[in-house]
Structure formats: C-alpha cells, structure tokens
Amino acid sequence: EADIYQTPRYLVIGTGKKITLECSQTMGHDKMYWYQQDPGMELHLIHYSYGVNSTEKGDLSSESTVSRIRTEHFPLTLESARPSHTSQYLCASSRGVLAGGTQETQYFGPGTRLLVL
Amino acid sequence: AQSVTQLDSHVSVSEGTPVLLRCNYSSSYSPSLFWYVQHPNKGLQLLLKYTSAATLVKGINGFEAEFKKSETSFHLTKPSAHMSDAAEYFCVVSGPRGTGSARQLTFGSGTQLTVLP
C-alpha cells in the first residue's frame, strides 16, 4: 500500500489568503509531482521534482510555488488565493523509470479539494 | 491490475515521414488512456486522452491515437514528423473511471523519438 499523505483534505478559504498544501511520502521516492484536476477532467502537471533542491514547472501554468528541502516532503504554496485556484490538487511520487526500462508507477495521495471564495 | 507496454524504446524517423509509437495495455476495467510527451528538461505534457468516447482521438501538434479494444492497443501516430517532435513519449493507463480522481496512473517505460533532418 502506498504511503503518501496530503493535508488538508478539504480547504475553504477567502480570496487573498496565503495557503500551503502539504504532501509527504514515506516510500523514499525521489520523484514527486503536483497535479491540478478539475472535476471530470484529466490531470495537469503543475510542478515536479526529481529530488532534494530540484523543482520544475509542469505543463500547466500555475501561480503556486513548491519547495523540496527534504526527500519526503513537497509542499505547495499559494501566496494569494483567488477563486480561479478552486480545484483539486493531487500529489504523487514515484521511484522513476528504473534501469532496464521498467515501467514507472506514480502513487497518488488522496488530494486536497480547495475552494476559494 | 493494470499495465502498459511500449513496444519500442527508441524510434528514429526522417523529417516529413510518418510517426508510429506503439502501446499495448492491460486493464481489469475499461481504461482511460493517455499519451504524454516530455521534451528534454521539461515536465510531462498531455498530448491526448481516450475516455470511452470516439475511438480515434486527436491531440495537439497533429498527433492522434486509435483505441483498439480487440487488440488492447493505443498506438500514437502523426502523418509527418517535425524536428520539434523529438522527445520522449509515454503511454499511460489510469484506474477505473468514475472514481472522481486518479488513484493510480501507470506509465509506460517511454519511447524516445529521434527526428533526422
């Protein structure tokens, strides 16, 4: 069973507030990801990290920022929340593609549903 | 359980010739299938997705893929390769639809596409 956790699970907050969505995994995975998903839609990658002190932006532009100071922790921060940020945010981790081409599986946390009023 | 197999780890084509990247899947459910592209030092970008509507799916940059249930395949094609198509391509199968969120995405091992001038 994958051990990846996200808090909070649900968050309702007013416009302009600073928020941090937490993501932690205990599997020792080097790669971690943040995805944004609107209801019934596909995942869009907004941030990813290949390891400590590595962060990159994904294919969907996002006003959020991330940090990776520890392997197990990959928090996402919005400095000033807006209604357009209302969505579900999913964190994932993986070991990456192994030598020999073994397929990669990403394990996802339960997600944080964010509502900005 | 689900799995995805990309049959070629490397494909080389000349500019202007057709592209075919092969993908076979295995799933206990009616799957959702995706193709993602990753350019060097970039994150994953969604090319196209299949979620049970039309079996021929058109994506960005002239790519398309056909879902063939009888062959459990989801091959990616493009009529005419461009130099900018050189990248790594991942075939992805997701968990059962209707869950509201993707609990697990399984990525293929990737196909590196080289486009020769």
| Contact (CB, 8 A) for A65 and A76 | yes
Contact B2, B96 (CB under 8 A): no
pLDDT in tens, B44-90: 577 888 877 788 999 989 999 999 989 999 999 999 999 999 998 98
Contact at CB, A103 and B45, closer than 8 angstroms: no
Closest CA to A12 of A76, A65, A83: A83
pLDDT in tens, B5-24: 899 989 999 999 999 999 99
Please give the residue of chain A at the shortest CA–CA distance from B109.
A103
Question: Which of A37, A45, A108 has the CB atom closest to B43's CB atom?
Answer: A45
Please answer whether residues A13 and A83 qualify as being in contact, where contact means their C-beta atoms are separated by less than 8 angstroms: no
Q: Kindly report, residue by residue over A70-104, the tens digit of the pLDDT.
A: 999 999 999 999 999 999 898 988 876 544 444 45
Q: Which of these ranges, A11-25, A78-92, A102-116, B2-16, has the smallest mean pLDDT?
A: A102-116
Do β-strands B73-78 and B19-21 pair in parallel, antiparallel, or remain unpaired?
antiparallel
pLDDT of residue A103: 43
Is residue B113 within 8 Å of residue B87, measured between CB atoms?
yes
Distance from CA of B60 to the nearest CA of A (A): 13
